[in-house]
Amino acid sequence: MVNLSTEFCGIRLSNPVMPAAGPPIRDGQAAIEAAKGGAGAIVTKTISAQGAKVPRPCMAEPFRGGFLNTELWSELDPEIWLAAEYPLVREVGLPIIAGLGYTEDDIRQLVPQVAPFADAFELSTHYLGGDTSPVERAIRAAKESCDLPIFVKLSPQVDIPTFARAAEKAGADGIVLINSFGPCLDIDLKTGKSVMGSDTGYGWLSGKAIFPLALRCVYQAAQAVDIPIIGVGGISSGTDAIKMIMAGAVAVQTCTAAILEGPTVYGRIVKEMESYMEKAGYQSLQDFHGLALKNKPETATMNPVTPQVDSEACTACGICARSCAYQAITLEKIAFIDADKCFGCGLCVTRCPRDAIVHNW
């Protein structure tokens, strides 16, 4: 029986999968649904001094794996959250990380009001610009206003080590990485107009497309700071969550997958983590936490190595041969890789749907 529990900043979670700030956690009822769906903690949608005026349309899926939004923060005023939504979220009984934004003044006003309903805060820095000082001031304002752990959520478009170190120095207890990436654009072919109702027509990218970006940011931050990191960005499966933990995260969040699939996504990711861990012989998250940091390369590998085909697993489906840019793969009863032509690029290893190509480089 594998153990998925995790503890950081004095907060204990039975599993490390939680919602990320967004529509799937837009109010108290959504928090109840997230808990029923198997989340290990509740992160509430970012609120600010006033409810956001959200342009519409504000969400689109322009391609499989890529999602655009122009949603800002919660459209509900803080008074509504305080009177009706946070009390409902509290009833759920899971640890609560309350999302707040943005400026030092907003934070100083909101933290004391929300603190009775929260176990920790997540400060969104999405609109604070490319300089660390507004972020540091927001963290200090939060630290001066309560005794709860303060997480700071960073954009992927800042210099991660610089911002992570500045956040740690300003007193942050943890870092959440990443927010959505942008601005980005998609165009509706029928109208020739942007698909987003924002004043620029731009939106921010999330979902599977940003997973490698999020993974790199978590990996980089984990090398820069000693405080815990929560990974978010494109997570939609148990193996995505495991990779995030290998990169140094202590827990994960997911937003786009929860929008597309509904609140059962959290429990599904947990189940997939359990079954992967059982197969791999891992008993707890500690067994592989930060594994990729321990295996960090010291130099580039320059010698090409030809992958090997597992004759038991290969079905000669041809996917590898079709996408071999070096024409090194031919199909016989199974795929055959010509070592003289093979560039050692490794693409066939990741394209094979049966894990039948192994690369011992």
Residues that bind ligand FMN (CB under 6 A): 20-23, 45-46, 59, 67, 69, 71, 73, 99, 124, 126, 153, 179-180, 206-207, 210, 232-235, 254-257
Tokens found for residue 150: 């303060």
Cis before residue 307, ω within 30 degrees of 0? no
The DSSP code sequence of 12-42 is EESSSEEEPSSGGGSSHHHHHHHHHTT-SSE
CB nearer ligand FMN, residue 15 or residue 69:
69
To the nearest whole angstrom, how small is the minimum distance from the Cβ of residue 223 to ligand FMN?
21
CB nearer ligand FMN, residue 71 or residue 186:
71
To the nearest whole angstrom, how small is the minimum distance from the Cβ of residue 117 to ligand FMN?
17
CB nearer ligand FMN, residue 114 or residue 321:
114
CB nearer ligand FMN, residue 23 or residue 40:
23
What counts of helices (H) and strands (E) characterise the chain?
Answer: 13, 20
Burial of residue 115, with CB atoms counted within 10 A of its CB: 0-12 exposed, 13-18 middle, 19 or more buried: middle
CA distance 126 to 116: 25
CB-based contact 45:26 (threshold 8 Å):
yes
Q: Identify the sign of the CA torsion 90, 75, 120, 38.
A: positive
To the nearest whole angstrom, how small is the minimum distance from the Cβ of residue 229 to ligand FMN?
13
Torsion angle in degrees (nearest 10) through CA of 153, 99, 228, 206: -50
To the nearest whole angstrom, how small is the minimum distance from the Cβ of residue 143 to ligand FMN?
19
To the nearest whole angstrom, how small is the minimum distance from the Cβ of residue 302 to ligand FMN?
34
3-state secondary structure of 168: helix
CB nearer ligand FMN, residue 44 or residue 320:
44
Tokens found for residue 63: 């391609």
CB nearer ligand FMN, residue 205 or residue 309:
205
To the nearest whole angstrom, how small is the minimum distance from the Cβ of residue 307 to ligand FMN?
31
3-state secondary structure of 323: coil
- Among 198, 204, 154, 193, smallest CA distance to 53 is for 198
Phi and psi at 348, nearest 5°, equal: -60, -30
CB nearer ligand FMN, residue 255 or residue 337:
255
To the nearest whole angstrom, how small is the minimum distance from the Cβ of residue 129 to ligand FMN?
15
The DSSP code sequence of 259-301 is HHH-TTHHHHHHHHHHHHHHHHT--BGGGTTTHHHHT--SS--
CB nearer ligand FMN, residue 102 or residue 282:
102
CB nearer ligand FMN, residue 106 or residue 356:
106
CB nearer ligand FMN, residue 3 or residue 103:
103
To the nearest whole angstrom, how small is the minimum distance from the Cβ of residue 24 to ligand FMN?
9
CA distance 328 to 320: 10
To the nearest whole angstrom, how small is the minimum distance from the Cβ of residue 125 to ligand FMN?
8
CB-based contact 205:240 (threshold 8 Å):
no
Tokens found for residue 158: 């800042």
Task: Scan for tokens 């990779």, then name that residue.
Answer: 243
To the nearest whole angstrom, how small is the minimum distance from the Cβ of residue 333 to ligand FMN?
41
Tokens found for residue 2: 């594998």
